[in-house]
Structure 1
Amino acid sequence: MNVLAVGAHFDDIELGCGGALAKHVASGDNVCAYVATLSGFTNPQHKVIRSNETAFCEGQKAMKILGVELICGDFKTLELEFNEELNQELIKIVEEKKIDKVYTHWMGDIHHDHQAVAKSSMHSCRHVPNMLMYRSNWYHSTLDFKGNFYIDITDFWDKKEKALLSHRSELQRTAYKWIDFFKNEAENAGQRIGVKYAECYEVVKWLEK
C-alpha cells in the first residue's frame, strides 16, 4: 500500500497520525509525508519563535524516527491558500507515488493553513479511494469532529512520542503540553475501543476490498 500524510506544518502530521504512519511502515507499506510550509514563524512582536531551518531539521528528524519519506513544500507559514499551486503539488505526489490512502487535516480546523490543506486534499486526492482526516491541535471550532474511525497504536505510541519530542522548539513554546494532551487523547480513544492507545479519525471515504 502507498500512503500519503499531508500537513501544513512540521509537527502537524506527527501529532495527528504519527502512530498510524509508524504502524504502516512496520507493516511494509510505502509511506510519504508532504509538509506544505517552511513552518518557521514570528510572534506579533516580530520575534522569531521558530526559524525555517530549525523547523526543517526537527521535522526531518521526526520523520526519520517514524521511517517516513519527507517531501517538503516551500509555502510561507500562515500564507497558505487553497489554490491551484498547492493543488498541483499534491496531485503530482498522488500520481507519481500511486497513493492508495491519504491522511490529512480535518476540514473543521480553525487554523487558516490547516483549512487550506484540508480543502486541497479533498480536491487533489479525489481519486484516492481511502481518506481520513485527523486533528492536530486542541482548539475549538463551530463544527464537530465526527471521530468514527480508530487505529490501534498501542505498539507505536512510544515511537510517536519520540517523533514529537524532536520538535523541541515547538514543545518549548507550548511548555511540552502537546505531549500530555495527545497522550490523553490516545488513551481516551483507546478506552472507547478496548485498547491502550488509539488515534481517532473522521472518514471522508473508505474502500473495502
Structure 2
Amino acid sequence: MKVLAIGAHADDVELGCGGTLLRHRNAGDEIYITVVTHSGYTSTNKNLVRHKETALEEGKRSASILKAQFLCLEKEPLVLVPNEKLVLELDEVINRIKPDRIYVHRSSDNHSDHAAVGYVAIRAARKCDSVFLYRSNWYIMDNGAEDKYYVDISDCIEQKKELIAVFESEMKAVNYSWIDFVIKQNSAAGAKIGVDYAETFQMVKMIWR
C-alpha cells in the first residue's frame, strides 16, 4: 500500500497519526509525508519561537524513522487560505504520488492552518480511494460520534512517543506536555475498543476495489 500523510506543520502528522504510520512502516508500506508550511514562526512580540530550518530538519529526521519520503511546500504558516491555488498544488502532489490512502487534518479543526489544509486536501484527493481525517493536537473539536475508524497502536505507542519527541523545537516550548496529552487521548480511544491505545479517524471515503 502507498500512503500519504499531509500536515500543515512539521509534527502534525506524528501527533495525529504517528502510530498508524508506524504500523504502515512495519507492514512494509510505502509512506510519503507532505508538510504544507515551513513551520517557522515568531510570537506576537516578534520573538522567534521556531526556526524554519530547525522544523525542516526535525521533519526529515522523523520521516527517516518512518522510512518515509518527505516533502515541504514551504508555505508561510498562520496565514494559509483554502483557495483554488492551494488545491491545485496539493492536487499536483497527490497526482505524482498516486497514494492508495491519505491521512490529513479535519476541515473542522479549530486551528486555521489545519482547517485550511484539511479543506483543500479533501478536494484534491477526489481520485484517491481512501481518505481519513486525523485529530490534531491540543485543540478541542467535534471528534466523538464521527470517529468511526480505529487503529490499534498499542504495539507502537513507545515509538510514537519517540517520534513526537523528535520535534524538540515545539516540545520544549510546552514542556513536552503535548506528548502526555496525545497519549492520554490514544489511551481513551483504545478503551473504547478494548485495547491499550488507539488512534481515531473520521472517514471521508473508503473504496474496496
**Partner amino acid, structure 1, of 2:123:** H
State the match for 2:174 in structure 1: 174
Q: TM-score, normalised by structure 2?
A: 0.95
Distance 1:184 1:105 in 2: 19
**Partner amino acid, structure 1, of 2:99:** I
Does the Cα contact within 8 Å between 1:66 and 1:159 map onto a contact in 2?
Answer: no
Aligned-residue CA RMSD (Å): 1.3
Distance 2:26 2:165 in 1: 20
Distance 1:179 1:144 in 2: 19
Deviation above 4 Å: which 4+ runs of structure 1? Answer: none
Does the Cα contact within 8 Å between 2:135 and 2:143 map onto a contact in 1?
Answer: no
Distance 2:75 2:195 in 1: 38
State the match for 1:39 in structure 2: 39
What percent identity do the matched residue pairs reach?
38
How many equivalent pairs are there? 208
Distance 1:63 1:97 in 2: 16
Distance 2:161 2:68 in 1: 15
Distance 2:182 2:44 in 1: 27
Distance 1:89 1:33 in 2: 15
Deviations 1:65-117, CA, capped at 9 Å, x for gaps:
12211111110011211123322221122211111111000121011111110
In the alignment, structure 1 residue 183 sits paired with structure 2 residue 183? yes
State the match for 1:30 in structure 2: 30
SS in 2 for 1:180: helix
State the match for 2:150 in structure 1: 150
Structure 1 residues not aligned, in runs of 5+? none
Distance 1:140 1:184 in 2: 14
**Partner amino acid, structure 2, of 1:198:** A
SS in 2 for 1:160: helix
Structure 1 position 208, deviation (Å)? 2.9
**Partner amino acid, structure 1, of 2:125:** C
Deviations 1:11-53, CA, capped at 9 Å, x for gaps:
1000000111111111111110100000001111000000101
In the alignment, structure 1 residue 117 sits paired with structure 2 residue 128? no
Structure 1 position 144, deviation (Å)? 4.7
Does the Cα contact within 8 Å between 1:105 and 1:114 map onto a contact in 2?
Answer: yes
Q: TM-score, normalised by structure 1?
A: 0.95
Structure 2 residues not aligned, in runs of 5+? none
State the match for 1:207 in structure 2: 207
